[in-house]
Chains A and B, each alone.
Chain A
């Protein structure tokens, strides 16, 4: 084979390599952007018809925000803690935000954390469980204003 052909093939192969690289980049361009909306693009009416879960959720009515945590029952009755942006650890351990003097509470019993505009309560594998409105927690659930959360003999509530 002549030198010219071989040189042409040599450069042709390098071009082929980069054609592959650029085709792959353009194939993944669609979801390179970060951000929930940008990732998918705004779904068109047709896509929404085919995939109902893409439809915009109707805007939720603005919830009243919780600003303090109040202990309504138990040895610490009357204690209030202002809620800031940081999570709150409940339990008997000294590092807990609210140290419960309660024999039925575990060292690191439950965690109250903000997500979006709401507060969630999550059991941290306690021995006796955490109850939100008399239902034992099996996963993190949002805590609404005025709903009692029971840990051992202690009951807490969120107040505006």
Chain B
């Protein structure tokens, strides 16, 4: 794995400038939403805007103190996306509904947790100690929604929610972070074993059977999620995460071939055996036929009509009818944005995701430890895959699944998980861009395994 170095330079002032621009996008969107509904600039608007601005600036100050060299564009990107999502959810609230304020509350909680991650974790390498604990935690989080008593039961055909007091929470969102930590820890320790052993068949080198253990586990987890929780999206996300991380760790295309083979095989069997998967796929292929429209594809088709109505420049914020689409503020928020901001606005949003993803990979290239590289790749790929699955689903490129749009969609668990991911990416980019850290690992941390990534030293001749 290679490594790129830059001159260590904090660039926090650049971040402040971009952050002000990002806040003006978020707050401007919120203002425009109100302009046509004759409720602009009421006390609510000022309250919400100032809360968002204060939270973002506090985050910025924390970065100045704790992660001086962190990537300067990640925070503005995320704040802009989150602000845009807040405005859109606020705009879609029917009179009496309060999803907008609820989302704002969750945004503040999630930002506070991300600040906590940066403040108390300090060094992402500490997480390596928790490799196997995080595997156990992931398993626990994935099983929780199936436990009677805690489970919130089947909501919209999927069992992925648990009840915490008056609220519901999706533990699977947090599980993607703990799974990424496990994969990164496991692969950075066992990379060489997986790399060297195995026999060659044709141009592909296949791993030994016992090295396939974690791969089979990952496959079983995603199939288990599909069968017991009926959640196609998370299943694809977990397995995709694993394939990408093992490919990044070993640069063997054979893993991708095996992985795609397993997922196609598993998906085919699932489509035959489970009615809900089959209904999804049928509804996707024949979305416009009247019998499917009534039972399944209405959401996607209304979303497509909405985006068509928006055209190139959109109807303008607050002036379209995205509320006609079911779940316009969560699953279909991309369609709502496409309708009101048009293709031009939607592409800006997609580009922001692309830039966030590239910054995550840039942090992975720059950081010096194999664990950090794998973790940054895994986390940023999780965001990218989620975007692909959601935007692909909304635009009918692939069947619509129940994943959330990171930072935009209404939903507390998703916001929380994605802000934690941002906190971790900022920490990793801090070590990647900062001056070379020569201090030893924090006490108790696992020693770096010998590998080509460890800087080599000259030995004295005896």
- Answer whether A and B are interacting partners: yes
Residues of A within 8 A of B (CB): 1, 6-7, 9-11, 13-14, 16-21, 23-25, 27-28, 30-31, 34-36, 39-41, 43, 47, 51, 53-54, 87, 89, 95, 108, 111, 113, 115, 120, 122-124, 132-135, 137-142, 144, 147
Pairs across A and B, CB under 8 Å, 9 listed: A23-B18, A24-B352, A30-B6, A51-B435, A132-B459, A135-B459, A137-B450, A139-B451, A140-B451
Nearest CB of B to A137, in Å: 7
Contact B459 A40 (CB under 8 A): no
Contact A36 B4 (CB under 8 A): yes
Asked if A141 meets B456 with Cβ closer than 8 Å, knowing A27-B18, A122-B450, the reply is: yes
Interchain CB contact under 8 A, B450 and A14: no
On whether A13 and B317 interact (CB within 8 A), knowing A6-B35, A18-B348, A21-B348, the answer reads yes
Closest Cβ of chain B: how far from A140's Cβ, in Å?
A: 5
Output the nearest chain B residue to A1 by Cβ-Cβ distance.
B35
Q: Are A124 and B193 in contact, with the CB atoms below 8 A?
A: yes
A133 contact set on B, CB distance < 8 A: 459, 461-462
Taking a contact as CB atoms under 8 Å apart, the answer to whether A24 and B452 are in contact is: no
**Which residues of chain B are near A135, meaning CB under 8 Å?**
459, 462
Q: How many A-B residue pairs have CB under 8 A?
A: 147
Interface magnitude class on chain B: 35 or more
- Give the interface segment out of B147-155, B337-345, B381-389, B416-424: B337-345
Whether the pair B77, A24 counts as a contact (CB closer than 8 A) is: yes
Chain B residues within CB distance 8 Å of chain A: 4-8, 11, 14, 17-18, 21-22, 24-25, 28-29, 32, 35-36, 72-73, 76-77, 80, 192-193, 196-197, 199, 313-314, 316-317, 319, 341-342, 344-345, 348-349, 351-352, 355, 358-359, 362, 435-436, 448, 450-452, 454, 456-459, 461-462
Inter-chain contacts of B80 with A (CB < 8 A): 20
Q: How far is the CB of B8 from chain A (nearest CB, A)?
A: 7
Given contacts A21-B348, A24-B73, A142-B456, contact A36 B450 (CB under 8 A): no
A16 touches B28 (CB 8 A): yes
Interface contact B459-A120, CB-CB below 8 Å = no
Determine if B317 and A10 form an interchain contact, defined as CB atoms under 8 angstroms apart.
yes
Residues of B within 8 A of A51 (CB): 7-8, 435
Bound form: Cα–Cα A111–B5 in Å: 28
- CB pair B192 A111 closer than 8 Å: yes
- Given contacts A28-B359, A141-B457, A142-B459, whether A13 and B342 have CB atoms under 8 Å apart is no
Q: Is the CB of B450 within 8 A of A123?
A: yes
Judging by beta carbons under 8 Å apart, are B451 and A43 in contact?
no
Residues of B within 8 A of A36 (CB): 4-5
Which of A27, A31, A40, A53 contacts B436, CB < 8 Å? A53
- Whether A120 and B4, one on each chain, are in contact in the complex, defined by CB atoms closer than 8 angstroms, is no
List residues of chain B with CB within 8 A of the CB of A17: 25, 341, 344-345, 348-349
CB of A54 within 8 A of CB of B7, answer: yes
Q: What 7 pairs across the A-B complex have the smallest Cβ distances?
A: A139-B450, A10-B316, A17-B348, A39-B4, A140-B450, A24-B73, A20-B21
- Does A9 contact B35, Cβ atoms closer than 8 Å? yes
Contact of B196 among A18, A41, A111, A137 (CB under 8 A): A111
Q: Which residues from A are CB-within-8-Å of B457?
A: 141
Q: Hey, which chain B residues are within 8 Å of A7, CB to CB?
A: 316
A27 and B14 in contact (CB under 8 A), knowing A17-B25, A141-B457?
A: yes
Contact A24 B355 (CB under 8 A): yes
CA distance A134 to B348 in the complex (A): 61
The docked-state distance in angstroms from the alpha carbon of A13 to that of B31 is 10
Nearest chain A CB to B423 CB, angstrom units: 19
Is there an interface contact between A31 and B6, defined as CB atoms closer than 8 Å?
Answer: yes
Instruction: Tell me the smallest distance from the CB of A86 to a CB of chain B, in Å.
Output: 11
Do A47 and B348 have beta carbons less than 8 Å apart?
Answer: no
Which residues of A are found within 8 Å of B11, using beta-carbon distances? 27
CA distance A26 to B6 in the complex (A): 16
Contact across chains for B7 and A43 when beta carbons are under 8 A apart: yes
Question: Are B7 and A120 in touch, CB under 8 angstroms?
Answer: no
